[in-house]
Amino acid sequence: MFAGKDCIGAIILRLQKERTLAKSAKDYNKTDMTALKSEVIAWSAELGFQHTGIADIDLGAAEVRLADWLRAKFHGSMDYMERHGGKRSRPEELVPGTLRVISVRMDYLPQDQELAKRLLDDGSSAYISRYALGRDYHKVLRGRLRALARRIEDKIGEFSYRVFVDSAPVLEKALAEKAGIGWIGKHTNLIDRDSGSWFFLGELYTDLPLPVDIPEQSHCGSCVTCIDVCPTKAIVAPYSLDARRCISYLTIENKLSIPVEFRKDIGNRIYGCDDCQLFCPWNKFARPTAEADFAPRHGLDTAQLTDLFMWDEATWLEKTEGSAIRRIGHERWLRNIAVALGNAVTSPEVVAALTARQQDDSPLLVEHVEWALAQHENTQTTTEEPDV
């Protein structure tokens, strides 16, 4: 009982610390903002961020692109992309009083990219997007950003701020581009010319009038590698992604049946897809992260599909504790693996694993299991020797 009250008290205290900027603007005339910005960048590096930049809040161009994207219905079932009015592209509407956004980058690539490429060629292994192999990035970055805010507060006293890590209507890539952290590539991910694109982004919305950075310019040139390698042709034009075709959307955001037309192209990808990053020429500069929180857990970087398909919900909950994978639930986890098993090389082990789930209580799972078994029946039929 008392622990619950303590928890509520801690939440209230945190909300007070991350107070909204509805208060009247403060007088920062006595603060040297140029010097403070230098300190913010230094503190960010100490906290594990690889790049920190400052952006203003003019996102007019990004707002137009977002409106066009929504009008084309490329967001699929992600209705939250349409909600909140202009708050996504107008930071001062989301958090009144916002003047600047402190944008940060944290690298997450857990291991050499060649290992990931080889995994995609191994149909019996499960491919999980590299960002989800370790601890949930929301928790990691949010904690570091709060620590950064505390350091600023220790230096100048109370100031207004709010922390965001992919958890609210925020155009994080457009803000990071304005902050000089990288440019939005043709695959719509952010790219840094020295480090590639394997990184997370986070933001501090604040009323501090810090000097802004010079926005980064595109360096994609004539390259269309990401467009060519996309398994489902989701990048329908440079800088334009139809999420409804994207494997990350299909295996994570999509709560329903995976359209049959995309199942073969999904291959062994059971949570997300990295192809547009794995083959991007700029990622030749990427290096594995030193951040221990992003190291693979529970052998998910080398797991076999048949083994993962055997996990009951209790095992799945144990193995995914503290992981971003939790968001899809056990049923969709199995749905995705069923598709991957349907794409695997036919073997007694694969067929037995699928057959064991054929009478599952979930109609969604059974549908995908039946499809997967049909793939192996077709394979067996076409490989049988004709009668002589």
At 167 the pLDDT is: 84
pLDDT bucket at 240, cuts 50 / 70 / 90:
very high
Give residue-wise pLDDT tens across range 174-210: 999 999 999 999 999 999 999 999 999 999 999 999 9
pLDDT at 74 over 80: yes
Q: Is 219 within a domain? A: yes
pLDDT bucket at 3, cuts 50 / 70 / 90:
very low
Question: Any residues with CB less than 8 A from the CB of 351 and at least 6 apart, and which?
Answer: 373, 376
Q: Is 336 within a domain? A: no
Q: In percent, how much of the chain has pLDDT > 90?
A: 88
Q: Give me the domain span that covers residue 226.
A: 2-303
Angle between helices 363-383 and 329-343 (to 10 degrees): 10
pLDDT at 344 over 80: yes
Cα separation, 190 vs 283, whole angstroms: 11
At 7 the pLDDT is: 54
Strands (E), 108-262: 127-128, 161-164, 183-184, 190-191, 199-206, 235-237, 240-241
Rounded average pLDDT over 47-59: 98
Helices marked H in 47-90 — which ranges? 60-71
Other C-beta atoms closer than 10 Å to the C-beta of 289 total 21
pLDDT at 140 over 80: yes
Q: Is 193 within a domain? A: yes
166 belongs to the catalytic site: yes
Q: Is 262 within a domain? A: yes
At 23 the pLDDT is: 39
pLDDT bucket at 388, cuts 50 / 70 / 90:
very low
pTM of the entire structure? 0.90
- In this structure, of 27-31, 152-156, 340-344, the range with the lowest mean pLDDT score is 27-31
3-state secondary structure of 254: coil
Q: Is 263 within a domain? A: yes
Q: Is 72 within a domain? A: yes
At 22 the pLDDT is: 38
With contact defined as beta carbons under 8 Å apart, do 268 and 127 qualify?
yes
pLDDT bucket at 6, cuts 50 / 70 / 90:
low
With contact defined as beta carbons under 8 Å apart, do 128 and 301 qualify?
yes
At 382 the pLDDT is: 53
pLDDT at 251 over 60: yes
pLDDT at 270 over 80: yes
Give me the catalytic one of 107, 154, 166, 242. Answer: 166
With contact defined as beta carbons under 8 Å apart, do 136 and 108 qualify?
no
- In this structure, of 25-29, 230-234, 263-267, 360-364, the range with the lowest mean pLDDT score is 25-29
Give residue-wise pLDDT tens across range 142-163: 999 999 999 999 999 999 999 9
Q: Is 245 within a domain? A: yes
Question: In total, how many domains does the chain have?
Answer: 1
pLDDT bucket at 26, cuts 50 / 70 / 90:
low
pLDDT at 309 over 70: yes
Mean pLDDT, the chain, whole residue set: 92
User: Which is it for the CA torsion 49, 62, 255, 262, positive or negative?
Assistant: negative
**Short-list 133, 145, 143, 142, CA closest to 108:** 133
Q: Which helix (H) or strand (E) holds 105?
A: strand 100-107
Angle between helices 33-46 and 137-156 (to 10 degrees): 140
Q: Is 334 within a domain? A: no
Return the ∠ at Cα 351 (arms to 350 and 355), rounded to 5°.
120
Rounded average pLDDT over 86-100: 96
At 20 the pLDDT is: 43
Cα separation, 100 vs 344, whole angstroms: 50
Which is more confident, 15 or 64? 64
Rounded average pLDDT over 5-18: 52
Which is more confident, 179 or 6? 179
